[in-house]
Amino acid sequence: MRKVIDSLLLNAVRASGFTYPHAVPQAQTVQPPQSGSTPRESDLETAIQERLKGIESGKYRANTEHVLTEFAQWLYEERDIDSLSQLSPTDCRRYAQYLRECVRSEEQVLSASSANTYYAYVRAFLGWCVRDGRINTNPATQNQATEELPEDSDRPDRQFWKERDRKALLSFVDKRVDESFEEHSSLPQHRAYRDRALVYLLALSGVRGAEIFNASEDERRNGLQWSDVDLENGTLEVLEKSRAYQHVPLPERVCTALERYRRIVEPPTAEMFVFPTEHAPSKYAAVRDQLENADEQLAANDVNKLIRDHGVVVPSISTAGARNLMQRLCEDAGLEINGEYLKPHGGRRGLGHELYSKGHAELAQTALRHSSIETTHQAYSDIQAKETAKRVDDVLDS
């Protein structure tokens, strides 16, 4: 048992595309798995491959493949199971216990949060197997199994932009645009306008970062293009979390920031990305990929001039790049939020928080594109709890 666990722990550390919040370097000294430990070809393996074919998101597919492969290997080596029909709630209970031991092991390769995430992937897969007619019931949903999972006490990052911080940052990016017109300014105007439009969009529209930036783990999320922007009607078309396209309503101030930015950059084609990267190697790569005799032209011209003159499509800033940009802007603006910076997704949460706290729950639902008002209530349960406490006090004091 110990040998199998050590082997799987090492696989977990080496897995590509899946990170563990509390992985410990010592785990790298564990011996690798023995040859021949891969499960036999079976209906379980077939089901895993069919499930992966139906997942469009690159990151989610990679994570699912890693977890399910490890799960199938564990079943084969520890439970002598290679068929879905053999799988029982007891087997899922043993898997939960195994994950718990991974958390408690000396190496602590898995955090409690990661262990619960692993189990959630398996449970979701077996739920798909039920819907696909491969098994009758989902053995991973039974309390008999789930009660053995380690307690997950990790709190998710729930940062939101407070009104005063949002106003301070908006004021700062407005000031940067004005300063870009000064004679000795080192900040290019197009970049000042780009950054202002980006901040206004994050702060006031409720968009998610992955909907407007390049998410490298997802081939369908390359970034927001000007063809997705309809300033006349005040909307953006984005690929939502649900993998469906939907229109995002844009407040007037966001439309104004985008319109003025578009006037400055004058995108030659609608395929240009709204927020192109300023990463120099990416610019040079785009020029070399899209222009003939690129090296000769680069030797005689500035790369930015070639991009403008020839309509070279530069990749969108990435989600990681957007976080770095927000960190730099906050540092330059003198904003520090508990030792952190205003993160892109915090703009969405901040908008919802302010709308909800001011009594506009349905408007918050619409702005954030929640599928139901119950989702909105759940997202801002802290506000509900505070309001309930206040009302109780009012009743008791009356």
- Its CATH architecture, for the domain 163-277+315-357, is Orthogonal Bundle (1.10)
Give the dihedral sign, CA 163/165/170/172: positive
For the cut 50, the answer to whether the pLDDT of residue 31 exceeds it is no
Task: Tell whether pTM > 0.75.
Answer: no
Q: Are 84 and 129 in contact (CB under 8 A)?
A: yes
Kindly report the average pLDDT of the chain as a whole number. Answer: 84
CATH code for the domain defined by 2-146? 1.10.150
Same CATH topology for 2-146 and 163-277+315-357: the answer is no
Does 58 or 208 have the greater pLDDT score?
Answer: 208
Q: Are 36 and 46 in contact (CB under 8 A)?
A: no
Q: What local confidence, expressed as pLDDT, does residue 81 receive?
A: 92
pLDDT, one tens digit per residue, over 82-108 is: 899 999 999 999 999 999 888 887 666
CA proximity to 338, closest of 159, 215, 187, 182: 159
Confidence bin at 36 (pLDDT 50/70/90): very low
Give the mean pLDDT of 337-359.
Answer: 90
Give the mean pLDDT of 306-327.
Answer: 91
Give the mean pLDDT of 107-128.
Answer: 86
Highest averaged pLDDT of the listed ranges 26-30, 58-62, 295-299? 295-299
CB contact set of 289 (below 8 Å; sequence gap of 6+): none
Residue 325: CB atoms within 10 A of its CB come to: 20
Give the whole-angstrom CA distance, residue 276 versus residue 322: 11
For the cut 90, the answer to whether the pLDDT of residue 175 exceeds it is yes
Q: What local confidence, expressed as pLDDT, does residue 156 receive?
A: 59
For the cut 70, the answer to whether the pLDDT of residue 14 exceeds it is no
For the cut 80, the answer to whether the pLDDT of residue 109 exceeds it is no
Q: What local confidence, expressed as pLDDT, does residue 107 receive?
A: 62
Q: Are 319 and 210 in contact (CB under 8 A)?
A: yes
Q: Are 208 and 224 in contact (CB under 8 A)?
A: no
Confidence bin at 41 (pLDDT 50/70/90): low
Give the whole-angstrom CA distance, residue 40 versus residue 249: 52
Highest averaged pLDDT of the listed ranges 158-162, 347-351, 381-385? 347-351
Q: What local confidence, expressed as pLDDT, does residue 143 receive?
A: 84
Confidence bin at 6 (pLDDT 50/70/90): very low
pLDDT, one tens digit per residue, over 231-258 is: 999 999 998 877 789 999 999 999 999 9
Polymer length in residues for the chain: 398
Give the mean pLDDT of 102-127.
Answer: 84
Percent of the chain with pLDDT over 70: 86
Residue 397, Cβ density class (10 Å: 0-12 exposed, 13-18 middle, ≥19 buried) = exposed
Domain ranges, ordered by start, for the chain: 2-146, 163-277+315-357
> Cα–chain-centroid distance for residue 27?
27
